[in-house]
């Protein structure tokens, strides 16, 4: 095992981790920042964010409107102080992204082209066509590469964080290429590992979204909250491949597309006065209801009446993806179904991104900040990541000199890496995903939750045997983390007896759709 010292250890290379690393590198040009990512640096949930960032700019909009929208969608469980803070700090975060070189679409008046998404009362989402996340990711990676005090470690997997007396000292990290485990000591560690959509069989998340940050924080004793609140995106393309379901952005409905049945008949007006732009939980359950009523596998998005020129300009990525499957969006309906999309809970942090473990910060989708409550307002996630990355950086800068670096090597465990046949691991992962999708999905009940809990315990025992025999690789660690995430979701779901936001149990006495 190699022991390496760094000043800042950043785990994750999405907008949260990259923004934090840039800020720290700018402020401390002589300090060492190490960014760890388990695949290539540009592979993250940020990359696949189509919609954009919700930020108040227009004169017809206001902070108060954005705050109200966020609180309403959060269904009474948001932290109002956090909501107000994030919304009001949004414009400063946007300016920073612009200063770093991120380009957002401009309208004919020379201002940002603002789109409207579900749950928003005004058009306030800045975007780069329909691949905003990719544009942000690319720009931030180029920006970070300018700093000589930053090391980017790709294909490195964090096995666990080192916790001594509730103080984080760094992390044990597997170098997938050399097969060595490296112990990275760090004054400050940031978890920015994204979501955990891969715990479900049907998800918009890429394969890397295995809940690693939440799982390792949980195993280290950090407080984890609100894992029952899983947001299912209403409109994923209903063509399954071997990676993940392709997201059809909500911005498309904001532009005028409508949800319909196979005959082109709209239905959302039956479920909510906001129609197709109701919040995601309502649209998702409405679609599930339509599927059951009509005994069909999917509903459709109808773009056929939209302006073709504008549609092609704003949504080239979606148009091209549909075309690759033989769907001409100008003449055909797009088949869509709900898919797991975003976790509203996670590692509990304070207003500065500090976890319950000293010197361990967390930022982005792996956290529970209080912004989302029971349901995330569309395009508030990149906003949250950007604002909290800034706050994490500010607090890290403030406390750095106070941190004692008396590392103790003999407290750290050695982990041996063996070659493993991954076929069995992949089968176990698939089994877990199907259990979660069928029994811990959009609509839950206690009977199925308990069945899932027992079935997953059996999977957990199998994976534990690998660790007991010192047999690990990335795939095994990811499955261990997914099992941890599944257990948390089930536990928190069993404990909740009130339907709120995206959480819906059919055996709760009073329910709302």
**Catalytic residue IDs:** 280
**Helices first, then strands: H and E counts in the chain:** 13, 16
Tally of CB atoms within 10 A around 434: 14
Of 174, 175, 173, 169, the residue nearest 189 (C-alpha): 169
Residues 6 or more apart whose Cβ sits within 8 Å of residue 253: 117, 118, 235, 259, 276, 277, 301
| Range 405-408 contact pairs with CB under 8 angstroms and sequence separation of 24 or more | 405/5, 405/185, 405/187, 407/5, 407/169, 407/170, 407/185, 408/164
Give residue for tokens 């995601």. 280
**DSSP conformational letter for 87:** H
Of 420, 393, 403, the residue nearest 16 (C-alpha): 393
- What the block records as the tokens of 239 is 């063509």
Tally of CB atoms within 10 A around 200: 28
Of 157, 123, 144, the residue nearest 53 (C-alpha): 123
Of 502, 479, 492, the residue nearest 433 (C-alpha): 479
Where are the alpha helices (H) located in 108-151, listed in sequence order? Answer: 132-144
Give residue for tokens 């349901």. 375
**DSSP conformational letter for 268:** G
End-to-end CA distance of the chain: 54
Where are the alpha helices (H) located in 295-337, listed in sequence order? Answer: 308-314, 316-324
Strands 33-36 and 150-153: parallel
Tally of CB atoms within 10 A around 403: 16
* Residue 182 β-bridge partners: 2, 173
Strands 2-11 and 125-126: unpaired
């Amino acid at each position: 095992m190699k022991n390496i010292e760094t000043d800042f250890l950043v785990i994750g290379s999405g907008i949260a981790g990259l923004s934090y690393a840039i800020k720290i590198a700018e402020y401390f040009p002589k300090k060492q920042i190490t960014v760890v990512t388990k695949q290539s640096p540009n592979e993250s949930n940020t990359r696949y964010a189509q919609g954009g960032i919700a930020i108040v700019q227009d004169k017809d909009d206001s902070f108060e409107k954005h705050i109200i929208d966020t609180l309403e969608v959060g269904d009474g469980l948001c932290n109002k102080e956090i909501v107000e803070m994030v919304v009001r700090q949004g414009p400063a975060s946007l300016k920073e992204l612009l200063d770093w070189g991120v380009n957002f679409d401009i309208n004919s008046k020379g201002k940002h082209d603002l789109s409207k998404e579900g749950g928003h009362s005004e058009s306030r989402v800045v975007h780069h066509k329909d691949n905003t996340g990719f544009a942000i990711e690319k720009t931030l990676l180029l920006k970070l590469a300018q700093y000589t005090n930053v090391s980017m470690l790709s294909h490195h997997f964090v096995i666990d964080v080192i916790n001594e007396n509730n103080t984080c000292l760094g992390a044990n990290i597997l170098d997938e290429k050399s097969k060595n485990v490296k112990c990275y000591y760090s004054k400050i560690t940031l978890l920015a590992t994204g979501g955990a959509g891969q715990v479900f069989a049907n998800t918009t998340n890429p394969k890397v979204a295995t809940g690693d940050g939440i799982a390792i924080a949980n195993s280290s004793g950090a407080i984890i909250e609100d894992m029952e609140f899983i947001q299912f995106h209403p409109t994923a393309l209903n063509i399954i491949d071997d990676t993940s379901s392709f997201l059809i952005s909500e911005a498309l409905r904001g532009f005028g597309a409508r949800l319909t049945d196979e005959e082109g008949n709209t239905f959302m007006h039956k479920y909510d006065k906001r129609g197709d732009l109701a919040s995601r939980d309502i649209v998702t359950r409405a679609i599930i209801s339509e599927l059951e009523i009509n005994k069909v596998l999917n509903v459709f998005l109808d773009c056929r009446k939209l302006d073709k020129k504008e549609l092609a300009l704003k949504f080239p990525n979606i148009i091209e993806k549909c075309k690759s499957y033989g769907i001409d969006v100008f003449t055909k309906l797009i088949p869509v179904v709900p898919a797991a999309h975003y976790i509203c809970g996670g590692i509990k942090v304070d207003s500065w991104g500090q976890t319950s473990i000293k010197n361990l910060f967390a930022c982005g989708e792996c956290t529970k900040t209080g912004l989302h409550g029971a349901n995330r307002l569309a395009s508030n996630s990149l906003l949250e990541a950007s604002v909290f990355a800034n706050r994490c950086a500010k607090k890290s800068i403030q406390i750095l000199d106070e941190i004692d670096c008396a590392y103790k090597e003999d407290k750290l465990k050695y982990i041996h890496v063996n070659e493993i046949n991954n076929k069995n691991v992949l089968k176990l992962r698939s089994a877990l995903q199907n259990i979660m999708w069928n029994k811990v999905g959009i609509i839950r009940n206690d009977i199925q939750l308990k069945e899932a809990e027992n079935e997953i315990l059996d999977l957990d025992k199998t994976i534990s045997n690998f660790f007991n025999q010192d047999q690990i690789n990335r795939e095994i660690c990811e499955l261990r983390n997914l099992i941890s995430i599944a257990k948390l979701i089930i536990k928190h779901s069993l404990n909740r007896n009130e339907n709120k936001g995206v959480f819906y149990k059919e055996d709760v006495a009073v329910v709302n759709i």
